[in-house]
Structure 1
C-alpha cells in the first residue's frame, strides 16, 4: 500500500516527468511518479536513443560505401542486426535502471500502474485514490497513422525502431524529420527506400535552403522521393504490401511506414478532459507556469503546447519543479532550442531560420567529395542581419554537435564581424561559416 497524500503527483515517466519528479524531490517535495509502461518514455524506448544507435551504424556504412564505390576501400561491411538488437536492448535497460536508481535516491515514490485524474487534485490507480495540490501531466505522445484505407497494415516509428530484421524495400509516408531519418538510416543499411510526402519538399520544419540540400543528399543516397502526393490506400499484395498513390500508380514493397505525425496521450484526464483546454493541434494549452485551464493541473513534455523535443521536456520539467518548490525561473525560450534531423549528413538549425531572412548562406562540396562517390553537399546559413545574427543552419558531418554551441553563441546576438574574429578548423565546413 502506497501513501495517499503528496505535494505533487506526476503522471508519466518520460523525460519531462522524470525531470520534474527528481528536481521537485531534491527541493524537498513529497512526490509520486506513476508510469504505466517503461521508464524513459518515447525518447529512451521508442525514439531518440534507439534511433541514434541505429543512425550510428548507418552513418558508418554510408561513409564506407562511398569510399568503396570510389575503389578506395574493400567490400562494405555487413550488418549484424541480431548483435545490434542485443546491444540496443542492453543499453536501453541500463538507462531504465539508472532512472529507477535516481528516483529511489531522490526519495520519489515510483508507482507502475495506469493512472486516471478523477477529480482536481485526485489521481486513481487500481481503485486507490491519491491526492496532491499539484498534479503534473507528463504523458507524452504517440505516432498516428493517416486516415486512409488499410492504414493498419503500415508500421509506425515505434515498430520500426524495434525491427529485428530489415525489409528488402520500404515506402515511407511523410516527409518530416522522422520520415526522413527513417529513410536515410534504412537506405544506408541496404534497404531500397521510397519516401512519399504531400508537401512540395521534405523537412518542412527546417529552412528551405537547408532542407533542399538535405533532400538532394537523400536523393544522392539512392532514396526515391515523391513530393506533392497523398497516398490513397495500403493493401496486401502477393509478396508484401502495395501503397496506392493514385489510380495509375502503386508501389509494391515489403513494408510501409507511416511517419505522419504524433498525438498527445490524454487518456489519464478521464472525464476531466472536457475541462482542459487544448490547442488546434490537440495538445494541452499551458501558461508560463505550465498550468492548464484546470487549476492545480500542470502539463509538460510532448502532451503540452511546447516544442516536442527531449531537451525541452527535461528543461520544462526542471523549471516547473523550481517554480513550485524553489526559486522561480521562466521557461527556456524556444527560439534558443537547437534541432537536428539525423539524415546523412545531419541537418541542424537554431533560431528561426524558417521564418526570417537568410542574409548569408552557401552550399559547398566538402573535402571528402574528392574521395567518396556520391558525396553529400554541405551547407551553412546565417539569419538575422550583419548587426545581429539570430539563426544558424548547418548541413554537414557533425552538424548535430556544432549546432548546440551555435545556440549558446546566439544568446548574445553577435554581429557578423565579431564572428569572423573566431577562426574555424581547416579544412572544414565550419571554417566556411565562420570566415
Structure 2
C-alpha cells in the first residue's frame, strides 16, 4: 500500500512544528496532527505565559525602588482579572502565527488526535493515514504526587486559568516550576508557602546557585518549609487544610509542582513496536526509536526538557532524514535559566558534577557583590557569579549566575564554552563598565577549599 505522506508528525508543539516545517522545506509531503492549541506546552501552558507572569510580578518591586531614585511614590495593586485576558490574547495570537507558518510551509494540519494502528498506519480522528516516516512530539504533562486529597490541588497547567488570584498559595515541590511560581505569585501579592522535602531548592543546579536563590526568595518574604512532606490535603469550609510532617495549616489554593511525565499513554506505541524505557520513548542520538522509520523528540523522550532542545532535536532529525545532512545535537553546553526572583542561569557543569568527573583538578572562582543599581536603594540584594575550571587544562567547565538579567548575561557564554574557552581567555577579556557581567573577567583568585557548602567571597 502506498504512503500518503513522506512524514506524519504527531504533536504541534516545540518539537513537532519545527520538524514538520523543516522537512517540508526539503520537499517532503508532510502532515501534522494536533488536537489541542498549536504551540504545545511552551506557548500555551509554559514558557510564554509564565514569562509574561514573571514580567507582571516584577513591577511592584520596581515601583518601590523608583522612589529611591527620586520618583514620587506610587500606590498600585495588581488586578488578576485584567492581566489574564491580556495574557490569553497574546497566546491566541501566537496560536494563529503557528497555524499560518504551517500553511505557508505546505504542511497539512489535522485537528485530531493520532494513534498508531501499526508501524506505518495512524488513526487520525475518523481517518486512517499511512506515512513513510513518523515523528512523535507529544510533550509531557504534570505528574501529581500520590497524596490523599490531591484532587483538590491544581497543576502548573491550571494556574494560568484560575478565575481568582489566591490569597495564600501552598506550592509542593522545589524544582524550577515550583520556585518560579512561588516568586511569580509572591510578586503579584499572594502569600506563598513553598514545601520541599530537601534542605534546599533546585537540587539539580549548582549548590551555591540554589542557596543564593533560596536566600533571595526568603529575604523577599517567601516562606520555604524545608524537610517537609505533605501527608494529606482536605477541603474544609475555610479552605484547603494541609497535613504535613511538621503540622498543619490552611490555604486557599495548593499547587503541585512535582515534575512532569511524557504524554505517551494513548499513542498505541505497543502496536507500532516502539520501545519505552522508564516511562519515556527510547531513542538513539539521531532521535530514532526502536522502529527505524519512527522518531521522537522533545519532552516525550525525557532527555533535557527545554523548548530550544526540542526545536534543535526536530531540526536535526529533518536535516538528517530529508536534507541529506546527518547530524546530532550536543547536550554538553546547553544554557538554562530559572526565572525566579532573584533570577538564576547556568551553562556547563555544576561544581559537584565537575568534581565527580575531574576530582581535585576542579577549582572555582566565585564572587558575591551588591550591583550598582541597588546602591541608591535600601535593598541588600546581592549578585553571585561563579566559574568552574579544570585547573590542569585551564578549561572553563561551567559558568553560573544569580541576579537580575542572569539569563541574558549567560546566553553568550554558551557559545564560548562550546568553543573551549579557558580561564585565561576570561582574564584577558575587557568587560563593559559599569555592568555586573564584567565581574566575570575580574575573578583573579580562587577559593582553595574543595567541595561544596563554602561561603562565597563577599565584595
Q: State the TM bucket, normalised to the shorter chain.
A: over 0.9
State yes or no: 1:391 paired with 2:398: yes
Aligned to 2:255: 257
Matched-pair contact (CA < 8 Å) for 2:119–2:272: no
Distance 1:264 1:48 in 2: 17
| Residue number in structure 2 paired with 1:325 | 322
Contact 2:139–2:262 (8 Å) recurs in 1: yes
TM-score normalized by the length of structure 2: 0.90
Instruction: Find out whether 1:99 has 2:104 as its counterpart.
Output: no
Alignment match, 1:185: 184
Paired residue for 2:313? 316
For residue 332 of structure 2, give the secondary structure of its aligned residue in structure 1: helix
Q: Distance in 1 between matches of 2:156 and 2:68?
A: 31
* 1:369 Cα offset (Å): 3.3
Decide whether the 8 Å contact of 1:350 with 1:403 is kept in 2. Answer: yes
Pairing 1:343–2:340 present: yes
For 1:378, the equivalent position in structure 2 comes to: 383
- The answer to whether structure 1 residue 427 and structure 2 residue 427 are counterparts is no
SS in structure 1 opposite 2:15?
A: helix
Offset of 1:335 from its aligned partner?
1.8
**In 2, Cα distance between equivalents of 1:71 and 1:179:** 35
Q: Count matched residues.
A: 431
Deviations 1:254-304 (A, max 9, x none): 111000000111134216179433333x11111012111133211101001
Q: Which residue of 2 aligns with 1:167?
A: 166
Distance verdict in 2 for CA 1:261–1:31, change over 3 Å: same
Shift of the 358–260 alpha-carbon distance from structure 1 to 2, 3 Å rule, reads farther
Is the CA contact 2:68–2:376 (under 8 Å) kept in the aligned structure 1? no
Q: Secondary structure of 2:261's partner?
A: strand
Structure 1: which 5+ residue stretches go unaligned?
A: none
Distance 2:353 2:14 in 1: 28
CA contact (8 A) 2:117 2:272 kept: no
Aligned match of 2:417: 410
Over 3 Å counting, the alpha-carbon distance change for 1:235 and 1:333 in structure 2 is same
Cα distance, 1:67 vs structure 2:
5.4
Deviations 1:307-363 (A, max 9, x none): 100000111111101111013243221122110010012110001215114511122
Measured in 1, the distance between the counterparts of 2:240 and 2:70 equals: 36
Partner of 1:355: 353
CA shift, 1:416, in A, is: 1.4
TM-score under structure 1 length normalisation = 0.94
Match of 2:408 in 1: 401
Is this contact kept in 1: 2:230–2:242, CA < 8 A?
yes
CA distance in 2, matches of 1:263, 1:73: 49
Provide the C-alpha distance between the structure 2 equivalents of 1:252 and 1:41, rounded to a whole number of angstroms. Answer: 34
Report the Cα distance in structure 1 between the residues aligned to 2:259 and 2:161, rounded to whole angstroms.
Answer: 19
Comparing 329-338 and 193-202, the one that deviates more = 329-338
CA separation in 1, counterparts of 2:363 and 2:252?
41
Q: What's the CA shift for 1:76?
A: 4.7
Larger relative contact order (CA 8 Å, sep ≥ 6): 1
Separation in 2 of the partners of 1:325 and 1:153? 47
Contact 1:177 1:205 in 2 (8 A): no
**Alpha-carbon distance in structure 1 between the residues aligned to 2:332 and 2:248:** 41
Distance 1:323 1:108 in 2: 19
After superposition, the C-alpha distances for 1:149-191 in whole angstroms (9 at most, x for unaligned) are 0011011001112224211111000000000000001111111
Contact 1:70 1:371 in 2 (8 A): yes
